[in-house]
């Protein structure tokens, strides 16, 4: 049986690289995509940081206020998800030329099983070079590629020579390839697990390879057995074609904790609008709706509702999100952050929905709104606009 050959292709600093390609004046500058830092008083987070920004210690998920303090001269930009999705679609089309077996795991990375196309394209290294060349020619962006006999090692390999690198682990050499690397490279080893294992003297993947798996199970439960297998480079997971995003979400952090009920409702409606446009661009339908709410003091809650059938219209999402919020009951506590997520997604081409007449009407409205957005016109739904304040007296 032929050994599997899998590529993990990971775009380099995707969001910020897109901004630098679209605006060449940003080339070589520290660029941060995320919330508005508001001179260091912003309350959102970093979505992405360019390699220039990372040299200052900025990374995704960091509070935007901290990123500003680390590098106040960085260029801070809001995310342009429509543009990122557009380029992602084109990049995935390039991948399809080299393999029919593609598993997209995020907007900027995918696994390709090239076992059956090696002879067609002159070997795996040729495939990797061609992919990098095609992506750069068509988008101006670079990517890093890991090559291995399984997904675990291919993904680790793609991270070793970033940006713009190709790293290959020959089949059968997985254990030796992984041994000198930090345990943080293993899937599932987060900060706390890393600190715990290092406190016991295990710093490299090779250290984990040499530990008795039963001892690891005593330390970490069933996860210890999985971790030992991963450390040895054993991973039997197949590349699953036509994989799609598991969820789409939008969230916002208020500048000041708020109990303004009207403002909270209008913010939720605006978030619903942003989510709907993203899933419609990607041609998805959703079945599960989730509200995220963070209150003063950082207590964070989620509430979800799974529908009887898939939907892709604003009316359904807005109705369910507002129902979840009303039933939440925050009391007198103020709100710091709100988020809206849809999950349990399906490609619309795979879904046969029996729509009622009023739902069909909403779909037509959505198509008109999408058409206006695509023409670059600035249209806001009436429900997103706050009504004018009544004058006193």
Catalytically active residues are 109
Rg for the chain (alpha carbons), in Å? 23
Residues listed for the chain: 393
The DSSP code for 243 is: B
What tokens does 64 get? 């935007």
Q: For residue 85, what are its two tokens?
A: 């999705």
Judged by DSSP in three states, 77 sits in strand
Q: How many CB atoms lie within 10 A of CB 274?
A: 17
Q: How far apart are CA 111 and CA 102, in angstroms?
A: 6
Q: Is 107 helix (H, G, I), strand (E, B) or coil?
A: coil
> Rounded distance, CA 177 to CA 15, Å?
30
Q: CA neighbours within 13 Å on the CB side: how many for 354?
A: 1
Contact (Cβ atoms closer than 8 angstroms) between residue 283 and residue 65 = no
Instruction: Give the whole-angstrom CA distance, residue 339 versus residue 269.
Output: 11
3-state secondary structure of 352: coil
- Chain centroid to CA 167: 23
φ/ψ of residue 309, rounded to 5? -145, 160
Q: How many angstroms separate the first and last alpha carbons of the chain? A: 85
What is the rounded CA–CA span in Å between residue 201 and residue 301?
Answer: 37
Task: Give the count of beta carbons closer than 10 Å to the beta carbon of residue 98.
Answer: 21
User: Are the CB atoms for 102 and 239 separated by under 8 Å?
Assistant: yes
Task: Look up residue 204 and give its DSSP letter.
Answer: B
Question: DSSP letter at 389?
Answer: P
Rounded (10°) CA dihedral 178, 183, 187, 188: 160
For tokens 């599997």, the residue is 4
């Amino acid at each position: 049986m032929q050994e599997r050959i899998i590529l993990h292709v990971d775009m380099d600093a995707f969001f910020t690289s897109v901004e630098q390609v679209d605006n060449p004046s940003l080339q070589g500058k520290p660029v941060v995509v995320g919330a508005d830092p508001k001179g260091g008083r912003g309350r959102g987070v970093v979505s992405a940081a360019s390699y220039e920004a990372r040299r200052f210690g900025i990374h995704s998920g960091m509070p935007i206020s901290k990123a500003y303090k680390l590098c106040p001269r960085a260029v801070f930009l809001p995310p342009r998800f429509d543009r990122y999705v557009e380029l992602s679609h084109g990049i995935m089309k390039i991948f399809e030329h080299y393999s029919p077996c593609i598993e997209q795991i995020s907007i900027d990375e995918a696994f390709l099983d090239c076992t059956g196309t090696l002879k067609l394209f002159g070997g795996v290294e040729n495939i990797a070079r061609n992919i990098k060349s095609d992506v750069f020619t068509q988008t101006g962006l670079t990517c890093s590629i890991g090559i291995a006999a399984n997904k675990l090692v291919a993904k680790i390999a793609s991270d070793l020579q970033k940006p713009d690198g190709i790293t290959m682990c020959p089949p059968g050499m997985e254990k030796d390839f992984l041994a000198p690397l930090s345990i943080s490279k293993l899937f599932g080893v987060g900060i706390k697990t890393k600190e715990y294992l290092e406190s016991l003297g295990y710093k490299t993947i090779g250290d984990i390879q040499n530990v008795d798996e039963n001892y690891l199970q005593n330390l970490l439960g069933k996860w210890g057995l999985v971790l030992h297998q991963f450390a040895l480079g054993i991973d039997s997971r197949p590349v699953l074609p036509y994989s799609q995003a598991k969820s789409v979400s939008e969230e916002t952090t208020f500048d000041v904790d708020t109990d303004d009920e009207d403002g909270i409702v209008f913010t939720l409606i605006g978030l619903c609008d942003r989510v709907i446009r993203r899933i419609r661009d990607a041609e998805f339908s959703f079945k599960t709706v989730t509200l995220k709410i963070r209150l003063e003091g950082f207590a964070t809650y989620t509430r979800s509702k799974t529908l009887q059938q898939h939907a892709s219209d604003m009316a359904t999402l807005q109705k369910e999100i507002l129902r979840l919020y009303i039933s939440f009951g925050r009391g007198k506590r103020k709100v710091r952050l709100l988020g809206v997520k849809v999950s349990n997604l399906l490609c619309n081409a795979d879904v046969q929905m029996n729509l009622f007449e009023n739902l069909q009407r909403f779909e037509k409205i959505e198509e008109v709104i999408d058409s206006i957005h695509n023409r670059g016109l600035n249209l806001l739904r009436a429900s997103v606009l706050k009504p004018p304040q009544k004058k006193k007296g």
